[in-house]
Copies of this chain bind each other. A is one copy, B any other.
Amino acid sequence: FLTISVSSKLTPDKPCKRLVLYYHDILFNGTDLANATSANVTNDSALGSHFGMVVVFDDPVTADRRLRSPPVARAQGFYFYDRKDAYNAWFAYTLVFNSTEYKGTLNIMGADPLPEKTRDLSVVGGTGDFFMARGIATFRTDEAQGDYYFRLEMDIKLYECYK
């Protein structure tokens, strides 16, 4: 083994791979079982702004904005709200790819402070075609319709690519 320092220069504007994806969350509203792709598993606490509401999801991810486009991946995981005076979420989830283009997963976690226009989360690992990947997932809210549908643009930039 070569003994190196791993403190190197990665340049944020030069990812080794980049994927721009759209995430669609259709929260179960109590009646729409056929379309729902997520469900809250705890209720709001008394602290306000949905603080404490945990949502488990298996959400379609598409290459363009259209919910009805063929999914290029599934996003499986959970988010919850965690702020009293504003909507602020926290995500941990896996992007599961199973297409002719990509097979494998990316694992992502981080804070999602909705008042910010864009939010950076960490891509902490990957498998299959994304073996051992790391990077940044930048969220931007692309649309929010009431409480039961929102769409995020997820701009996935990988800076460590091993495959």
- Cβ A94 vs Cβ B111 within 8 A: yes
Given A7-B161, A90-B94, A120-B128 in contact, is the A46-B58 Cβ separation under 8 Å?
no
Interface residues of A in 1-46 (CB under 8 A from B): 1-10, 12, 16, 28, 30, 33, 36, 39-43, 45-46
- Cβ A111 vs Cβ B134 within 8 A: no
- Cβ A88 vs Cβ B58 within 8 A: yes
- Cβ A82 vs Cβ B56 within 8 A: yes
- Cβ B105 vs Cβ A110 within 8 A: yes
Given A56-B52, A136-B127 in contact, is the A3-B12 Cβ separation under 8 Å?
no
Decide if A122 is an interface residue (CB 8 Å cutoff).
yes
- The A contact surface, by secondary structure, is strand
Decide if A66 is an interface residue (CB 8 Å cutoff).
no
Give the CA-CA distance A30 to B47 in the complex, in Å: 10
* Residues of B with C-beta under 8 A to A8: 1-6, 162
Give the CA-CA distance A51 to B27 in the complex, in Å: 13
Q: How far is the CB of A21 from chain B (nearest CB, A)?
A: 16
Q: List 13 A-B contacts (CB under 8 A).
A: A6-B160, A41-B54, A45-B56, A76-B111, A78-B80, A94-B110, A105-B111, A107-B110, A107-B124, A109-B124, A120-B128, A124-B125, A132-B159
User: A residues touching B (Cβ–Cβ < 8 Å)?
Assistant: 1-10, 12, 16, 28, 30, 33, 36, 39-43, 45-47, 51-54, 56-58, 76-78, 80-84, 88, 90, 92-94, 96, 104-105, 107, 109-111, 113, 120-128, 131-132, 134-136, 159-162
